[in-house]
Amino acid sequence: MSFLDEVWKPNYLRGYPQVRAISMPLCLPSFLGRIMYLFISAARSTPIASTAHCISSLQALCCSLMATAIAGVRWCPLFSASQPPKHGLSSAFVTPSMRPTTLRILSHKHRTRRSISMSMNGCDCDPRSPIGIAETRTLQVASTPSSAMDHLGAAIASLRANPPDTSSGIIRLQVPIQGKIESIDWLHSQDPHLPRCYFSRRSSRIRSSSDLLLESLNGNGNGNGNGDGRSSAANKLVSVAGIGSAVFFRHLRPFSFHDWSSIRRFLSMDSPLIRAYGAIRFDARSNLSPEWEPFGCFYFVVPQVEFDELEEGSVLATTIAWDASLSWTWENAIDSLEAVMRKVSSLVGKLKRQLPRASILSNSHCPDKTNWELAVNKVLHSIRRDDSPITKVVLARSSKFVTDTDLDPVTLLACLQSEGKDSYQFCFQPPNAPAFIGNTPEQLFRRSGLSISSEALAATRARGATKALDLQIEQELLTSPKDILEFSIVRDGIRDKLKAVCDGVVVEPELTVRKLPRVQHLNALIAGRLRSEDDEYAVLSSLHPTPAVCGSPMEDARDFIAETEAFDRGMYAGPVGWFGGGGSEFAVGIRSALIEKGGKAFFYAGTGIVEGSDPSLEWKELEMKTSQFTNYLKQEVAVE
């Protein structure tokens, strides 16, 4: 290893020999500090004249480097960044025995360089080593967010004065607030330049059916499905908004058992509201496109400051996490938390569920309609071949829009929320990155203790303009051989995968209709009881991707998608949700969009192709699914 290679690489990149260069502004202080250390160390055994010469050279070098950094010029790579190895993986997940450790910082030449400036990456820890402390401290009830901030400020000052005597840990400070405030209103009031996340559960009506099924499996009538029965707040949590990063988990390798265990290391049954929120790529084997690079193959975060909306009331909380083994000490963590707290606004206004109408400057689909028809016919030809095992492939479309004004992702999400009470809403935005938002009706799974539930959701029809027409369309859906086939593939696939890790798997009902504001689907609930909580990773890795977003058989369908689709799905159709100490909940990231600065947005939608599918009708279904986004845009140009 060369001298420059050694001193330039910061602590958190040691152990990753593939990384050879990063941008100067990211680690200039560390670089200069190491040079100073090496010169001083050498000077101890060097004649005075040589030492003076060294110091003179060091001063000139430091001045030159500082001038370069101030000018905003990035250091040219001294070495080429190696590509991550091909692992030959067949899914977005890897097993414990297949843990590649490559971390790619430099992009390909045609990609934009971005830096992830956050707290500590929990993926770099040893998950077998427990953290020193994990606890939640509840403070005095506050009447307003402003007084809650005062309580938290005093508690943080007390923590600084009396630090824990452990080298690692996670502590949540929470203040109940009288009166209910919507967490999305709080998020909209905060600094948009901070990392932020948002996750909202579905309506109580939808959850009740799943809860009843979980309770029957629990046998104790206590299946709250929201984590841990010890916490009434966890049971009544409606939505969560967070800013900052107490600890994050991100990598360019596929999500592995090691990564799941690293997340679990910071969670506790006794602190069910300490949760890691995030998403996983649809297919980690595919190349990252520039817009998805900041998310890596997966991205989870425990927010530093969090606003919890309850069914009755609210909670403002802060979380501080530290681990000296990750070069993130208690002092680093509390300094970072105080810096974020200074940016928190305690004035929360009511967000208008109305997006300013943006005019479309350009619009293109990938694939376009001609190539879409070719792709659908290719699937149908494959299904009809005697030597092909494929029975279903879910093809997707990415629609790129450029508008005359920036789209505010939080306002857009609030608009979607007003018409999507029976859906999950989510927003994940790493630092200096686009916002991934969605309004998805589909649950991947929900765990409460050992009880776990999932659902099959497939086949689509529009809602009727009148009640009579709506019922007529519902009956057509329930009796359509093509739609029943598509749905049965999804339902039976999920049931079989749960049987591999669960006892007592039940499907109830076998077939029903789920109605959403714009569309209606065939639906069924599936539930079982895990043999061990460690099987949660097995459930996640086996259920994703479901036949509803990939096809059947899964591996053949995914290979077909990789060969056919010309765009990067990123986190679209991947798992989105949270891990907690006593439970977890994940949705499927469909009906989603990636919102960038500069008026650029990508809207995603897909349809299941089975025997009997018609390319033109499937295209109309794509249009219907993306209309929840495009209805807020003003069409002024022809679609390319």
CA quadruple 117, 121, 124, 126: dihedral sign: positive
Contact call for residues 446 and 453 (beta carbons, < 8 A)? yes
Closest among 574, 580, 591, 581 to 626, alpha carbons compared: 591
Instruction: Read off the pLDDT of each residue in 507-533 and give the average, rounded to a whole number.
Output: 91
65 and 153 belong to one structural domain: no
Higher per-residue confidence, 355 vs 473 = 473
Contact call for residues 473 and 520 (beta carbons, < 8 A)? yes
In a domain, 183, yes or no: yes
- pLDDT confidence of residue 534: 87
In a domain, 238, yes or no: yes
**DSSP β-ladder status, 134-138 and 168-177:** parallel
131 and 29 belong to one structural domain: no
**What is the C-alpha separation between 440 and 59, in angstroms, rounded?**
57
For residue 161, give the H/E element and its range: helix 145-161
In a domain, 348, yes or no: no
Residue 233 tokens read as 């707040």
- pLDDT confidence of residue 216: 58
- Distance of CA 82 to CAs 102, 103, 611, Å? 9, 10, 44
Whether the predicted pLDDT of 3 surpasses 70: no
255 and 155 belong to one structural domain: yes
Q: What is the pLDDT of residues 265-318, one digit of tens each?
A: 999 999 999 999 999 999 999 999 999 999 999 999 999 999 999 998 999 999
- pLDDT confidence of residue 127: 94
Instruction: Read off the pLDDT of each residue in 405-430 and give the average, rounded to a whole number.
Output: 90
177 and 322 belong to one structural domain: yes
Predicted TM-score (pTM) of the model is: 0.79
**What is the C-alpha separation between 572 and 556, in angstroms, rounded?**
19
Closest among 184, 185, 302, 589 to 423, alpha carbons compared: 589
Q: What is the pLDDT of residues 582-632, one digit of tens each?
A: 899 999 999 999 999 999 999 999 999 999 999 999 999 999 999 989 888
Work out the pLDDT band at 115, boundaries 50, 70, 90. Answer: very low
230 and 303 belong to one structural domain: yes
Instruction: Write down the mean pLDDT value for the chain.
Output: 81
In a domain, 305, yes or no: yes
Show which of 31, 53, 82 is a domain's final residue.
82
In a domain, 251, yes or no: yes
- Distance of CA 151 to CAs 146, 155, 159, 169, 233, Å? 9, 6, 12, 22, 19
Beta bridge partners of 592: 438
Q: What is the pLDDT of residues 7-22, one digit of tens each?
A: 333 333 333 333 333 3
* ∠ CA 388-285-614, rounded to 5°: 40
Give how many domains the chain has, as a whole number: 2
Work out the pLDDT band at 92, boundaries 50, 70, 90. Answer: low
Helical axes 369-384 vs 554-564, angle rounded to 10°: 150
Residue 488 tokens read as 């049965």
**What is the C-alpha separation between 123 and 259, in angstroms, rounded?**
6
**What is the C-alpha separation between 532 and 501, in angstroms, rounded?**
9
Q: What is the pLDDT of residues 123-152, one digit of tens each?
A: 999 999 999 999 999 999 999 999 999 999
Whether the predicted pLDDT of 637 surpasses 80: no
130 and 279 belong to one structural domain: yes
Torsion angles phi and psi, residue 446, rounded to 5: -140, 130
Contact call for residues 573 and 279 (beta carbons, < 8 A)? no
CB count, 10 Å around CB of 155? 18
Work out the pLDDT band at 420, boundaries 50, 70, 90. Answer: low
Whether the predicted pLDDT of 251 surpasses 60: yes
Closest among 207, 18, 178 to 103, alpha carbons compared: 18
Show which of 320, 341, 362 is a domain's final residue.
341
223 and 279 belong to one structural domain: yes
Whether the predicted pLDDT of 495 surpasses 90: yes
**What is the C-alpha separation between 201 and 607, in angstroms, rounded?**
24
In a domain, 444, yes or no: no
Instruction: Read off the pLDDT of each residue in 32-50 and give the average, rounded to a whole number.
Output: 41
What secondary structure does DSSP assign to 200-235, as a single string? E---HHHHHHHHHHHHHHHTSS----SS-TT-HHHH
Whether the predicted pLDDT of 50 surpasses 70: no
- pLDDT confidence of residue 215: 61
Higher per-residue confidence, 7 vs 415 = 415
Work out the pLDDT band at 119, boundaries 50, 70, 90. Answer: confident
Which residue range(s) make up the domain with 61?
3-82
Q: What is the pLDDT of residues 165-205, one digit of tens each?
A: 999 999 999 999 998 899 999 999 999 999 999 999 987 55
Q: What is the pLDDT of residues 550-592, one digit of tens each?
A: 999 999 999 999 999 999 999 999 999 999 998 999 999 999 9
In a domain, 168, yes or no: yes
SS3 284: coil
SS3 28: helix
- pLDDT confidence of residue 234: 65
208 and 288 belong to one structural domain: yes
Torsion angles phi and psi, residue 289, rounded to 5: -85, 160
Contacts of 399 (CB under 8 A, 6+ apart): 363, 364, 365, 366, 602, 603, 604, 605, 626, 630
204 and 259 belong to one structural domain: yes
62 and 133 belong to one structural domain: no
174 and 316 belong to one structural domain: yes
* ∠ CA 211-528-540, rounded to 5°: 95
Contact call for residues 451 and 214 (beta carbons, < 8 A)? yes
Instruction: Read off the pLDDT of each residue in 357-374 and give the average, rounded to a whole number.
Output: 94
126 and 258 belong to one structural domain: yes
DSSP state of 375: H
In a domain, 631, yes or no: no
Instruction: Read off the pLDDT of each residue in 236-249 and give the average, rounded to a whole number.
Output: 96
Higher per-residue confidence, 44 vs 370 = 370
Work out the pLDDT band at 57, boundaries 50, 70, 90. Answer: very low
Show which of 301, 324, 341 is a domain's final residue.
341
